[in-house]
Amino acid sequence: MEDKDKKIVSLHLKLMPYLEKYGILLLLVIMILVMHILQPDVFLSWRNVTNVFKQISWQSMLALGVFMVIVTAGIDLSVGSIMMLSLMILAVVAKAGAPWYIVVITPLIAGFLCGLFNGLGITLLRMPHPFIMTLGTLYIFRGTGNLISGGTPISGFTDEVRYLGHGRIDLQWLGLEKSQYLPVSLVLIAIVYIIFWIFLNHSKTGKWIYAIGGNPNAARASGINVNKILVIVYSLCGFLSGIGALILAGRTDSGYPNAGLQSELDAIAACIIGGASFFGGRGTVLGVFAGVMIMGILRNGLNLMDVSSFWQQVLIGSIIVLAVYIDVLRRDLGTRK
Amino acid sequence: MSSTINPLLEAKGITKYFGTITALENVNLKVHAGECLGVVGDNGAGKSTLMKVLSGLYKPSAGSLFFQGKEEILESPRDSQNLGLEMVYQDLALAGNLPIGENIFLGREPTKDLGFIKLLDFNKIKELTNAHLDKLKINVKSADQKVEELSGGQRQAVAIARSTAFNAKVVIMDEPTAALAIKEVGKVLDLINSLKKTGVGVIVISHRMDDIFTVCDRVMALFQGTNFAEANLSNTSRDEVIGWIMGKK
C-alpha cells in the first residue's frame, strides 16, 4: 500500500514539470477538438482558422506586453489606451499626407514613448503600485487620443500602411487555391513571439525580469538595476501596443475612438489563463500564446454556433477562475511550504 | 590574526543618518583574512545598517571604507562584489522561481557570444554550479532544482555558495542560522569554518551565542549605533557578550 503511494508520488513529481510547461497546451488542444466536433465543417476550415489568427492578431501583441509586466509582478492597465493613442497618431499623420514609412513607424514610437512614460512614472514618482500609474495613463492616453483626433474616426490608409494587418501571403505556388492564403499578421505574431521568447529565456535582461518577479530584493542585492529593467519592460509593453495599433489600422482601415476599449482586460485574462502568476516570476511566452488562442477560439467557436456574446462573457470569466484554481492546486502540490 | 597585519576590510568612523534618525555613529570595524568576526547587538543596534553600508546598498553619511589598505567608495552592491566583498542576506536574497544555478550566477551570468547577440550559456552555468557546490560539499539533487523547492538549510547553503562563487575575499552573513532547523545549523557552521580555511574573511551577525562561539575568532558589540565593546573570543565569555548586547559592561 505504501509502495503504491510512493510510486504515485514519484510519477506525479516526474509529470509535474511537463504539466507546468505544457498543461495549458493540452487545454488548447482539447478545446480545438471539442470545437471541431461541434462544428466539423467550418471550424478547422482554412478560412476560419486564418480568421481566428486575424482576430487575435492585435490582442496577442497587447497580451505579450502585459505578460512581461506581470512577470515583474506589475500590471499595465493602459495598453488598450496606448494602442488607441498610437492608432490615432498614425491616422492623423497619415491624413496629413506623410509617406507610408513614416506612418508605419509613428505608432511604434508613440507606443514606446507611452510605455516609457509609464515606466518612468512608476520608478521616478515611486508610485506605490503600477496599477495606479497605469490606471492614470489609461485615462490620460485615451483622452489625448480623442484630443488629437477630435473624437471622430479617421479612415482610409494606403496599402503599405495596412500591410501588416491586412496583407496576404499568396500560397498558390504551393499548389493551393487563391483563397488559401497566409495572413501577414499570422507571420508577424510568430516572429514577434519567437523574438520575445528568446529575449525572455535566453538573455540576461530576460532572466533579470523573471528574477525581479521572483524576489526584487534578490535582484537588487545581485547588483541588478531593478528600476532600469522595469522602465525597459514598460517601454517594450508600450512598443508592443504600438505594433497592435499598426495591425489594427490595417484590419479596420481606420482610427476610431473606441479602439482597444477594455482590451487591457482581455490581455490580462489571456496571461492569467496562460499560467502567468500575478505574484510575478512565473509564466511562459508559450502559455500567453495559448491563453490568447483559447480566448480567440472560444469567441470564434461560440460565434459559429450563434451563441450570444453575453454567454461568451460568462464563459471567459469562468475559464479565468478555473484556470487560476487549477494553478493554485498545482502549486500546492509542487511547492514546499 | 594579530592586528599588526593589515586588515582585509576596515571601516572607519562610519555614520549613517536616515532623516533625523542616527542609525550608526562613528563605527569602526575590521576583519582579517581567514578570520571570523562576530557582530552582536540588540534589535535596532545598527547591525544590519552597518552590513548594508559594507555591501554598498547604503551610502554612509560619513566615514570611509578601506579594502586591502585602499580606500573605496561603494556606489552599489555591484561595486562591492567587484572588490570581492559578498553579502549573505537574512532574507536570503534568492529568487525562489529560479533554479539554483541561475540564482548563484544572478546578475553575473556567463554568456556565449553569437556575434550579433549574447545569449545565456546554460551549460556553463550548470557546469560551474556543480563544480562549486562540490567544492563546498553542498548536496542538492540537481543544479536545475528551483530554490523554492529547497529546505531552509539548503537555501542558506545556496546563498553562501552564491556569495563565494566569484573569488570572494570577505563574506558578510546576516543571521546565517536564524531560520534553520537544529540539524541544519551545524552544516552551515561547518561551511563557515571551511570558508575561513580558504583564507576568506567572514563577518557573522548573529543573536545566537552558539554560532558566535563556534565559528568566530573575535566578537564586537554594537549598542545604539555605536561601538560598545570588542574582544577576542578567548578573552571573553557568553555571559559577558550577552551583557554587552544589553548595554552592560
Determine the average pLDDT of the residues in A41-68.
95
According to the model, what pLDDT value does residue A1 have? Answer: 46
On whether residue B98 sits in a domain, the answer given is: yes
With CB atoms and an 8 Å threshold, state whether B119 touches A282: no
- Burial string for A87-105 (b: 16+ CB within 10 Å, else e) reads bbbbbbbbeeebeeeebbe
A337 pLDDT tier (thresholds 50, 70, 90): very low
CA distance A136 to A77: 9
Q: Can you give the residue range of the structural domain that contains B105? A: 9-245
Domains identified in chain B, total number: 1
Q: How far is CA B75 from CA A227, B56, B72, B93, in A?
A: 16, 6, 10, 19
What are the DSSP calls for B163-174, one per residue? HHTT--SEEEEE
Give the residue from B28, B32, B40, B11 showing the smallest Cα distance to B207: B40
> In CATH, what class is A25-327?
mainly alpha
Judging contacts by C-beta atoms under 8 Å, the chain A residues touching residue B118 are 203-204
If you average pLDDT over every residue of chain A, what do you get? 91
On whether residue B217 sits in a domain, the answer given is: yes
Tell me the residues of chain A between 272 and 331 that have a Cβ less than 8 Å away from chain B: 281-282
Structural contact between residues A233 and A119, judged by C-beta atoms closer than 8 angstroms: yes
On whether residue B4 sits in a domain, the answer given is: no
Residue B238 pLDDT > 80: yes
Q: At what angle do helices A309-334 and A285-304 cross, to 10 degrees?
A: 150
Determine the average pLDDT of the residues in A264-276.
93
CA distance A57 to B153: 48
CA distance A68 to A196: 9
Taking one residue from A and the other from B, the number of pairs with CB-CB distance under 8 angstroms is: 79
Encode pLDDT of B133-174 as tens digits.
888 888 888 888 999 888 888 888 898 888 888 888 999 998
On whether residue B1 sits in a domain, the answer given is: no
What are the DSSP calls for B91-113, one per residue? TTT--TTSBHHHHHTTTS--EEE
According to the model, what pLDDT value does residue A74 have? Answer: 97
Which grid cell is A86?
A: 498610437
Stronger pLDDT, A18 or B193, i.e. the higher one: B193
CA distance B148 to B133: 18
CA distance A195 to chain B (A): 12
Give the residue from A292, A261, A333 showing the smallest Cα distance to A56: A292
What are the DSSP calls for A172-239, one per residue? GGGT--TT--EEHHHHHHHHHHHHHHHHHHHSHHHHHHHHHHH-HHHHHHTT--HHHHHHHHHHHHHH
ipTM, two decimals: 0.83
Stronger pLDDT, A288 or B56, i.e. the higher one: A288
Which residue of A21, A201, A212, A215 is the best one to mutate when testing the B interface, meaning the one whose CB has the most B CBs within 10 A?
A215
Using CB atoms, pick whichever of B76, B111, B151 lies closest to residue A223. B76
Residue A173 pLDDT > 70: yes
Residue type, A116: L
Judging contacts by C-beta atoms under 8 Å, the chain A residues touching residue B57 are 220-221
- Burial string for A49-65 (b: 16+ CB within 10 Å, else e) reads bbbbbbbbbbbbbbbbb
CATH number at residue B173: 3.40.50.300
Cite the DSSP H helix spans in B13-151.
47-54, 77-83, 100-104, 122-135
Using CB atoms, pick whichever of A204, A210, A335 lies closest to residue B148. A335
Using CB atoms, pick whichever of A204, A211, A334 lies closest to residue B95. A211
Which grid cell is A89?
A: 497618431
CA distance A176 to A173: 7
Domain ranges of chain A: 25-327
In the three-class reduction of DSSP (H, G, I as helix; E, B as strand; rest coil), residue B228 is classed as strand
With CB atoms and an 8 Å threshold, state whether A219 touches B151: no
According to the model, what pLDDT value does residue A8 have? Answer: 62
CA distance A253 to A108: 17
A137 pLDDT tier (thresholds 50, 70, 90): very high
Q: What are phi and psi of A79, to 5 degrees?
A: -60, -40
Stronger pLDDT, B241 or A6, i.e. the higher one: B241
Using CB atoms, pick whichever of A204, A219, A223 lies closest to residue B95. A219
- Torsion sign (Cα): A12, A17, A20, A26: negative
CA distance B181 to B161: 19
- Burial string for B85-113 (b: 16+ CB within 10 Å, else e) reads bbbbbbebbbbbbbbbbbbbbbbbbeeee
Encode pLDDT of A65-83 as tens digits.
999 999 999 999 999 999 9
Determine the average pLDDT of the residues in A194-199.
97
- Torsion sign (Cα): A19, A25, A26, A31: positive
